[in-house]
Amino acid sequence: MSLNENICPICKKDINLGEAVIICPSCGIPHHANCWDINNGCSTFGCSQQGMAKQSSTEKLTEEKSNEKNVENNASKTKIILISLGILVAAVALHIFSVIIALGLAIGVASNKQSPMEKLVDNCFQELKEIKGDSITPITAAVFKYTNSEGNEEYNVLIVYKKNGFERYGAFDDDGRYMGDGNTYDGTLDSLDTDFVAISDDFMIARMKLALLAYIEDIKDDKYSVNFVSEKEAAQLDECAVLVSVDKIK
């Protein structure tokens, strides 16, 4: 049975019930759906729907291509954004790394900087190496401060070092002159050199050695005791001693 006795104007065949049909929205003429697609729209002359199927298909294809292009453009933009973010993150990381390195170097320089007394001991130790050889190793050191008869501050340095497995001493006066090791002094004037300077040197070295020993061993004896203080405190005193670290001495 045909649909309202209608005939498809394209294939000239009946339009039967159950068949896919497209009724032209402009002129109302029914068409087989397949015929409508083949004809690219209505077959009625002058109808506004003539060629509309092709136009719709073209528009659809154009829209699909436009969507694909938009997707590609969006993907490109996303890629550019990600690359830019990556560059930014790398730049920030490099800056942070540079700051860390700079801080590390600054801290290292600050930590290796010698105090005035450490520098004094270091200079004396370098002189001691010239005298005793490079194989010596510093163990500890003390700087003895006193005020001379003219009211001027003077500093003597006593260095305890090791050579060939034995502990030894070396002393320097305020002018950086090597005074010796004081080993010739046994506590009596008879053991001292007849030269006044040598006597003074040996006696001074012996006093420094005994004072350092008393401080290290915590011996309470006014005969040998010297007031050991920090380097900062020493600036306010006329006579004292400072135990100096040898960690920064090479």
- Is pLDDT of 242 > 60? yes
The pLDDT of residue 137 is 93
- The span from the CA of 202 to the CA of 219, in Å, is 22
Least confident of 13-17, 83-87, 108-112, 180-184: 108-112
Work out the mean pLDDT of the chain and round it to a whole number: 81
From 143, 124, 141, 120, select the one nearest 241 (Cα to Cα): 143
pTM: 0.53
Query: What percentage of residues in the chain have a pLDDT greater than 70?
Result: 79
Residue 222 has which token pair? 């006014």
Q: Is the pLDDT of residue 195 over 50?
A: no
- With a cut of 50, say whether residue 189 has pLDDT above it: no
pLDDT surpassing 70 at residue 184:
no
pLDDT greater than 90 at residue 183: no
123 has pLDDT over 90: yes
What does each C-alpha distance from 208 to 5, 46, 205 come to in angstroms?
A: 134, 126, 5
The listed range with the strongest mean pLDDT (34-43, 95-104, 130-139, 201-210) is 130-139
Nearest to 144 by CA among 237, 248, 249, 247: 237
Tens digit of each residue's pLDDT (9 = 90 or more) over 39-92: 888 888 888 887 765 555 555 556 666 677 777 777 778 888 888 888 888 888
Domains and CATH numbers, the chain: 2-50 (3.30.40), 116-244 (no CATH)
59: three-class secondary structure by DSSP: helix
Angle at 181 between CA 202 and CA 139, to 5 degrees: 135
In whole angstroms, give the CA distance from residue 203 to residue 199.
6
Between 229 and 95, the higher pLDDT residue: 229
Range picked from 3-7, 169-173, 187-191 for highest mean pLDDT: 169-173
